[in-house]
Structure 1
Amino acid sequence: MAYKITEIEGIGPKYGETLGKAGINTTDDLLDKCADKKGRKATAGDTGLTESQLLKWANMADLMRISGVGEEYSELLEAAGVDTVKELKMRRPDNLTAKMKEVNEAKKLTRQTPS
């Protein structure tokens, strides 16, 4: 399921407009254009955004593809050190749950953490 690009945490109207001018209006568009370094470099040149910012947003869009994650939990997962679906697959659930709780207590990113 594709989300509007502004549903990614940190992309507000200003960045949404900038990305929209580059043809990026949904999370799928972002993944299509920024999934690899070459695409991020081209998009950075087109938008004036940094490659590292585009990578962070692309990682969050990747995690948002998982049912039940959405924008809120994608940011929490990223803050807990999980950047991609592949990386999430490799994590031990008990360790990840503890790390997510620790990060959320410090940063208050979600109302509750998954259990």
Structure 2
Amino acid sequence: MRRAEKGQMARIDQVPGIGHKEATKLRKAGVRTSKALLERAATRRGRTELSKATGLGPKDLHLWVHHADLLRVRGVGSEYAELLVAAGVDTLRDLRRRNPTALLAKLIGLNGSQRLVSRLPTEAMVEGWIASAGELDPSIAS
């Protein structure tokens, strides 16, 4: 997967957990980027409306909004977001609460068994992600 360029949001199929079928349904509803998903599904009402338009479950949309929110963290592209999600980091709040050393150890272990990224993050990168997550307000309202 490619990382979104600075200032751009990731394509909808780069959000962790969104497969080809789901991405196609979201695109048909006009949701082509992670930013569009955050705008359309940040509220319960928005998720309900998008669920009706796509046939996708509101709970899945809720989870994907959190995953799309991780892509807003400085330095986290789609590959690193997928690695974070695999490590149990689903939300900005989860990331804020993590110990950088412990999280890095978990990421290294996961990548050793699952090969999710070609280049592992450094501890400084993980520290930066945690700091960046602390500066962001979650996009999800409810």
Coarse TM-score class (shorter-chain normalised): 0.7 to 0.9
Aligned to 2:111: 104
Matched, 1:31 2:38: yes
Deviation at 1:32, TM superposition (A): 1.6
Amino acid at match of 2:102: N
Residues 1-115 of structure 1 correspond to what in structure 2 (within 5 A)? Answer: 1-11=8-18, 13-115=20-122
- 1:60–1:78 Cα contact (<8 Å) kept: yes
Q: 1:101 to 1:36 in 2, by over 3 A?
A: farther
What is the Cα-based RMSD across aligned positions, in Å?
A: 2.0
- Percent identity between matched residues is 41
Aligned-residue offset at 1:26: 1.2
CA distance in 2 between counterparts of 1:79 and 1:52 reads 18
More helix per residue: 1 or 2?
Answer: 1
Q: What whole-Å deviation, never above 9, does each CA across 1:18-62 have from its counterpart, x for those lacking one? A: 112222111111112222444323322221122343233222211
What are structure 2's unaligned runs of at least 5 residues?
Answer: 1-7, 123-142
Cα 1:94–1:70 shift into 2, 3 Å: same
Aligned length: 115
In the superposition, the TM-score normalised over structure 1's length comes to 0.83
Structure 1, unpaired ranges of 5+: none
